[in-house]
Chains A and B, each alone.
Chain A
């Protein structure tokens, strides 16, 4: 749902985002114990499979992005996880592109990191089930909205001519944000009850 194809963005945007992604991957790899790679891969595969599901809304359907949930579950490991997912989609499904791998990873992984840093700690201390669900809904919606804003910024900084369409681009993410708010609230509430250690933002498990 956030695949900018090749040939759309300007070179400075592509290079800048690729550099930022490279730094993010480097930090994440440093924090990722090789011991935990199989575990991270299993969770990455869950998000990959989930992102291919069609979720009906009104007359159409959407693929979930799940950047909020990814941030809460994977923490920093979300960066290489998103990169791997996008490489596999580009290579075997023809989704996305090659020169845009950096920018597309950035647009999905940065929201995941922001949510892990802001909502993660709040979720740790939340006891009330309603509060847990609300934080989950916030994580789901914020993940989509932040990604939509980053997609718009990538387009807007690339060319003047894209700017008039950006309001529509932003609006096109509204249904997805609504779906992911409900979906992430449900998923987070369930994880909290059944397997709270999955929400300890990667760090505790990787330490």
Chain B
């Protein structure tokens, strides 16, 4: 939740370093292309090469090492179960045995490939896109022909996440002041239900006021993106160089 501040900017964005020279839509476009290409790679040495590219991007973007590492390590619990099962369910050369079940080298390889792919893409996206201001992301998506309504929904949502985070903080503080300590029991879950319900009510009322205020200022249901995105001279070389690397990796996969 730290990523959004009341000013509507991402706190994760320190200084994007050299990547700042590249326009947001080129960064978003290359991040998507990189994700698609990496998912297609599937061979460990090639995935390692893709990871190296992502690490270089992260260095160029000057991502903070500690908090980035924490983000990479995070994975939902159900995925851990899937990964832990893989060595035992993929047939192949036995590697070791646990409780009579033998783990295969092929299965382990597949689990490693998944972890590498997922983290490589997350790292590249955090470097290329995570360092953008959310507003710049919205403009980039508009330039990439994402429907206007989705872009506006995204921009307004970013704005209100910051506002509601503060509101949520005030409500939790009020609950704590009255002795509420979250524990794993029904009372806690009920209280969170009421808390979210009340947050919805207050936000809904807030949104009515916003709507009225916008109407007052002549809002007719159409928005204009104030600043169109400006192409940068670094875009073409960056996209071309990046594209060449991707093609190289994909060719290596095919001929291997």
Contacts and interface: CB of A to CB of B under 8 A. Distances in A.
Interface of A: 1-8, 14, 25, 29, 32-46, 48-50, 52-59, 64, 66, 69, 73, 80-81, 83-85, 87-88, 90-95, 97-99, 151, 155, 161-165, 168-169, 172-173, 179, 182-191, 194-195, 198
A6 B50 CA distance: 14
Contacts, number: 260
A2 B191 CA distance: 24
B249 interface: no
A51 to B, nearest CB: 10
Given A6-B117, A38-B210, A94-B130, A161 B153 contact: no
A62 to B, nearest CB: 9
B251 interface: no
A164 B86 CA distance: 9
14 contacts: A6-B38, A7-B113, A7-B121, A14-B39, A49-B1, A54-B182, A57-B184, A64-B192, A91-B132, A99-B35, A165-B84, A190-B194, A191-B200, A198-B204
A69 B32 CA distance: 31
Which of the listed residues B161, B182, B200 has the most CB atoms from chain A within 10 Å of its own CB?
A: B200
Interface of B: 1, 3-4, 10, 12, 31-32, 35-36, 38-39, 68, 71-72, 74-79, 81-82, 84-86, 88-90, 107, 110, 113-114, 116-118, 121-123, 125-126, 129-130, 132, 134, 137, 147, 149-150, 152-161, 163-165, 168, 182-184, 186, 188-194, 196-201, 203-204, 206-208, 210-211, 214, 219-223
A151 B36 CA distance: 21
Chain A interface SS verdict (over half): helix
B153 A151 contact: no
Contacts of A33: 221
A98 B31 contact: yes
A5 B71 contact: no
Which of the listed residues A87, A90, A161, A186 has the most CB atoms from chain B within 10 Å of its own CB?
A: A161
Nearest to B113: A7
A42 B35 contact: no
Contacts of B4: 92
Which of the listed residues A52, A54, A88, A179 has the most CB atoms from chain B within 10 Å of its own CB?
A: A88
Contacts of B192: 53, 55, 64, 183, 186
A66 B10 contact: no
A111 to B, nearest CB: 16
B75 A46 contact: no
Contacts of A92: 3-4, 10, 12, 130, 134
A25 B165 contact: no
